[in-house]
Amino acid sequence: MPTGKIALTTAELVIVGLEADTKEHATRLLAERMVAAGRVTEIEGYLEDVRLREGQMNTGLPGGIGIPHARSAFVTHPTVAIGTSSRGVDFGAHDGPAHLIFLIGAPDGSDDAHLHILAALARKIVHEDFRQMLRDADSPKVIADIIKKEVTL
């Protein structure tokens, strides 16, 4: 295994044009990317952890954001999988569906990593210009590069 810091996201963790009718389906599609990238070891266990967290409070935020997240024993490295959806997916925000979905996974017991990722994303997604940059991006690589550059832990 290579040494050094593992990137929070990569192009393989991004879906441009995510096609999902429900938050559960959107979350599954993004979680499948995490499994394929070796960031999640067991998809059903991880999705259950996300469902339990989502059951505590909706993760839809104003501005067209969905930010499902969980600490889980099935996550190997702090990770963000990202989906963009032109149609939008209902994550329970009062202002409508999410067009940008950030699925955050952090290893169980890594409270700090989980909170740092949420805080770093929150600092950026409150800015419309940042959200628009992501919505306008036409490739997974561009989105991953924006996150790597703009979201610092």
Could you list the active site residues? 69
d(Cα 120, Cα 74) in Å, to the nearest integer? 23
> In the 8-state DSSP scheme, what is residue 19?
-
Paired strand residues for 101: 66, 83
Structure tokens at 90: 């209902």
Q: Is 5 exposed, middle or buried (0-12, 13-18, 19+ CB in 10 A)?
A: exposed
Is residue 25 within 8 A of residue 85, CB to CB? The reply is no
